[in-house]
Chains A and B, each alone.
Chain A
Amino acid sequence: MSSKAPRRVIPIKVEPPSALSAAERSAVLDACVRLKNLPGALMPLFHAVQEAVGYVPKDSVPLIARELNLSLAEVHGVLSFYHYFRKEPAGRHVVHLCRAEACQAVGAVELEAHAKRSLGIDFHATTADGAITLEPVYCLGNCALGPSVMIDDRLQGRVSNSRFDDLIARARKSAVNPS
């Protein structure tokens, strides 16, 4: 190779193809720029993306991998390990219903059946009107006042079937994340 040939800059940071919207893409990149120098950045990053976008889109994985200089497998592996990070958009409100023992002792099993029946969905699903996503959770730390649910990030205790219906009705009426 002639030493006189001009140096070519080889772009090593190729933008991976993705179906992210412009807003989603910039939210993901923004979080990457802000957090990538933290030691152990991946968890704070997933939290930031989920907070900004509402979930962690599948197509954000290659982007995050590129920005953090990790392999796709590493990013996907971590993302898929944790129950909390959702890979699909949620409804306007997320209801986490406690399935753990202390709540079972005061009727959580009955409440779970009622919730699924009244919402017409199973766990990890969203109602047809897009209002409510139902998720199981293993303890909300409200074990003396169960059964407990968390709607968005507000904890609710002593949730009887009728109180559950009231809370859901109120959530349906409010727009997004009243907290």
Chain B
Amino acid sequence: MNPVKIYVSRDSAACSVGAEETARAIVAEAAKREVAIELIRNGSRGLLWLEPLVEVATAAGRMAYGPVGAGDVAGLFDADFIHGAAHPLAHGPTADMPYLKNQERLTFARVGITDPRSLADYLEHGGYRGLDAALAMEPAAIVASVTASGLRGRGGAAFPAGIKWKTVLGAAAIQKYIVCNADEGDSGTFSDRMLMEGDPFVLIEGMTIAGLATGATRGYIYLRWEYPDAKIALDAAIAAAYAGHYLGENLRGGGKTFDLEVRLGGGAYICGEETSLLESLEGKRGQVRFKPPLPALQGLFGKPTVINNVITLASVPIILDRGADYYQHFGMGRSRGTLPVQLAGNIRHGGLVELAFGLTLRELLYDYGGGSLSSRPIRAVQVGGPLGAYLPESQFDTRLDYEAFADIKAMLGHGGIVVFDDTVDMAAQARYAMEFCAVESCGKCTPCRIGSTRGVEVIDRLMAGDAARQEALLRDLCETLTYGSLCALGGLTPYPVLSALNHFHEDFVTSGTRHARPAAVR
């Protein structure tokens, strides 16, 4: 009899709640009971509240059990879970679970399904079809396809990818570069990490296609040090891709060259900003550059450079494989395709939800997220990372669309949604936004470097009394930051500060007189 295939994720989020121990317990228990199993360490399905999630391959498809602690394993064997039997932790066929079933997984199509270490598995699940299509195309045709797909930068700025690529293609230079921005520093976001750990080949394929499209022969993945498991996954996949002639000289026998390596960051949030990332890659302080010149013309080492986020590059293979029309067909308005949304913070069903643009925040928070983890009312959500606005309940019907968010002075950013219940102190959150800016400022421009520290002081004085004068000062300071900063760090820090001030003004009255908030229960 063939061994039973059992899947336990090796995603670092799954391992952070015991997937490693669960996997070991399954192996030990199977050995004890003399059951032949094949343990596959896949990526995470993205149902993070059910991690460690265990799946068993049965005749009826993969069956899900979770969250499975090491202590639950013997009981699962007793219940005959290896044949998909019922159990209190059973959720039936994984693919039929509503959280997953209703998603539109294009970029994350393979994450949680395949073994991220196996090139053969990648190929079996449609991998490298995009590259093969690209190899048969002229560079300009590849760029045209990416432009037609409507793909916009998923890192936050939402700049059309095709236009960036076209600029690099049109630039004459002896060396061009593809740089992947994997410095996913926004709190509430983890889609880059999940993708790199769960399907690293798709990123490699996307970067290779970008190389073919623009004439770049060398790529770098600038990865934050906080993601050591992603480093291991990427290094393994890159080695496998080289061994399989999907990277290097004359790749796939098509006469083209593309070399790729991973570089680690040093814990600087600002290095997620593209020009400071390039500085860092060059071995310098991660300080923001003036633009122009655009990185597309004078980027890494002064050469034309495509710099895109992980999800942007990882969305390219499916566009080349299925065609621009297929991808473009998803979405609304000028936001085409899908966005992998990350539900985070105080949320019952936290995880990754990839859907076409257009869903409302409320649908995500309640239909997918299941409300707050603490069961208290959701009071505020911060969308788009530490530089994103705090939205009150009255704005929960905003649709996920770059323009719709811009209209309410918010931003979708990298798709992270951080949920806070009614115990949150919004004045403290506003203060934290300024504090964070002060810690992470690169120091190049004065509004950000000094304004952030002054911002913390003004909020402290505001909370200590003298509210009216300090509030006026804070608004004035925010204006200076917005219009006087060199990059988005200083320029957008006013978003969380002013949104907290405008929508949750009651939290900004002097501590002595403010009404008591309910104490946190946990």
**Residues on A facing B (Cβ under 8 Å):** 39-44, 46-47, 74, 77-78, 81-85, 96, 100-107, 110, 137-146, 148, 150, 153-158
> How many Cβ-Cβ contacts under 8 Å join chain A to chain B?
160
Query: B131 within 8 Å of A by Cβ?
Result: no
Look across to chain A and name the residue whose beta carbon is closest to the beta carbon of B345.
Answer: A105
Chain B contacts with A in 170-212, Cβ cutoff 8 A = 184-190, 192-193
Query: B94 within 8 Å of A by Cβ?
Result: no
Query: B280 within 8 Å of A by Cβ?
Result: yes
**Interface pick from B1-9, B264-272, B398-406, B503-511:** B264-272
* Residues in A neighbouring B187, C-beta threshold 8 A: 100-103, 138-139, 143
Instruction: Enumerate 16 A-B pairs (CB-CB under 8 Å) in ascending A order.
Output: A40-B282, A43-B281, A82-B265, A85-B266, A104-B432, A138-B436, A142-B13, A143-B187, A143-B188, A143-B190, A143-B344, A143-B418, A144-B345, A145-B350, A150-B226, A157-B17
> Is A143 touching B189 in the complex (CB atoms < 8 A)?
yes
Q: Is the interface of A mostly helix, strand, loop or mixed?
A: loop
Look across to chain B and name the residue whose beta carbon is closest to the beta carbon of A159.
Answer: B16
A150 to B227 alpha-carbon distance, docked (Å): 10
* Residues in A neighbouring B263, C-beta threshold 8 A: 40, 43-44
Look across to chain B and name the residue whose beta carbon is closest to the beta carbon of A43.
Answer: B283
> Is A144 touching B351 in the complex (CB atoms < 8 A)?
yes
A92 to B203 alpha-carbon distance, docked (Å): 35
A40 to B227 alpha-carbon distance, docked (Å): 21
Look across to chain A and name the residue whose beta carbon is closest to the beta carbon of B184.
Answer: A141
Given contacts A139-B185, A139-B188, A141-B184, 5 further A-B contacts (CB under 8 A): A40-B282, A44-B263, A47-B264, A137-B267, A153-B228
> Is A145 touching B284 in the complex (CB atoms < 8 A)?
no
> Is A42 touching B16 in the complex (CB atoms < 8 A)?
no
> Is A157 touching B266 in the complex (CB atoms < 8 A)?
no
Given contacts A44-B263, A141-B12, contact A102 B48 (CB under 8 A): no
Choose one: A41, A74, A137, A145; the contact of B16 (CB below 8 Å).
A145
* Residues in A neighbouring B186, C-beta threshold 8 A: 139
Chain A nearest CB: distance from B306 CB in Å?
A: 17
Query: B356 within 8 Å of A by Cβ?
Result: no
Choose one: A46, A84, A110, A144; the contact of B344 (CB below 8 Å).
A144
* Residues in A neighbouring B386, C-beta threshold 8 A: 100-101, 138
> Is A106 touching B373 in the complex (CB atoms < 8 A)?
yes
Query: B32 within 8 Å of A by Cβ?
Result: no
Look across to chain A and name the residue whose beta carbon is closest to the beta carbon of B522.
Answer: A107
Chain A nearest CB: distance from B343 CB in Å?
A: 6
* Residues in B neighbouring A156, C-beta threshold 8 A: 16
Look across to chain A and name the residue whose beta carbon is closest to the beta carbon of B424.
Answer: A105
* Residues in B neighbouring A105, C-beta threshold 8 A: 344-346, 418-421, 424
* Residues in B neighbouring A146, C-beta threshold 8 A: 344-345
* Residues in A neighbouring B51, C-beta threshold 8 A: 145
Chain B nearest CB: distance from A51 CB in Å?
A: 10
A42 to B228 alpha-carbon distance, docked (Å): 19
Query: B499 within 8 Å of A by Cβ?
Result: no
Q: How many residues of B contact A (CB 8 A)?
A: 63
* Residues in A neighbouring B419, C-beta threshold 8 A: 105
Provide the B377-403 mask, 1 if CB < 8 A to any CB of A, else 0.
000001000100000000000000000
> Is A106 touching B16 in the complex (CB atoms < 8 A)?
no
> Is A43 touching B266 in the complex (CB atoms < 8 A)?
yes
> Is B283 touching A141 in the complex (CB atoms < 8 A)?
no
> Is A141 touching B227 in the complex (CB atoms < 8 A)?
yes
A158 to B50 alpha-carbon distance, docked (Å): 13
Chain B contacts with A in 433-460, Cβ cutoff 8 A = 436, 439-440, 442
Chain B nearest CB: distance from A121 CB in Å?
A: 19
> Is A81 touching B345 in the complex (CB atoms < 8 A)?
no
> Is B190 touching A141 in the complex (CB atoms < 8 A)?
yes
A157 to B282 alpha-carbon distance, docked (Å): 34
Choose one: A100, A106, A155; the contact of B12 (CB below 8 Å).
A155
Chain A nearest CB: distance from B89 CB in Å?
A: 17
> Is A84 touching B424 in the complex (CB atoms < 8 A)?
no
Query: B473 within 8 Å of A by Cβ?
Result: no
Choose one: B184, B266, B281, B343; the contact of A144 (CB below 8 Å).
B343
Chain A nearest CB: distance from B236 CB in Å?
A: 16
Choose one: B193, B301, B439; the contact of A39 (CB below 8 Å).
B301
* Residues in A neighbouring B269, C-beta threshold 8 A: 138
> Is A77 touching B266 in the complex (CB atoms < 8 A)?
no
Chain B contacts with A in 44-102, Cβ cutoff 8 A = 48-49, 51
* Residues in A neighbouring B522, C-beta threshold 8 A: 106-107
Query: B107 within 8 Å of A by Cβ?
Result: no
Choose one: A39, A82, A141, A154; the contact of B267 (CB below 8 Å).
A82
Chain B nearest CB: distance from A133 CB in Å?
A: 14
Given contacts A137-B226, A155-B15, contact A82 B286 (CB under 8 A): yes
> Is B266 touching A106 in the complex (CB atoms < 8 A)?
no
> Is B283 touching A42 in the complex (CB atoms < 8 A)?
yes
Chain B nearest CB: distance from A90 CB in Å?
A: 14
Given contacts A78-B284, A157-B13, contact A44 B429 (CB under 8 A): no
Chain A nearest CB: distance from B73 CB in Å?
A: 19
A101 to B15 alpha-carbon distance, docked (Å): 22
A44 to B263 alpha-carbon distance, docked (Å): 7
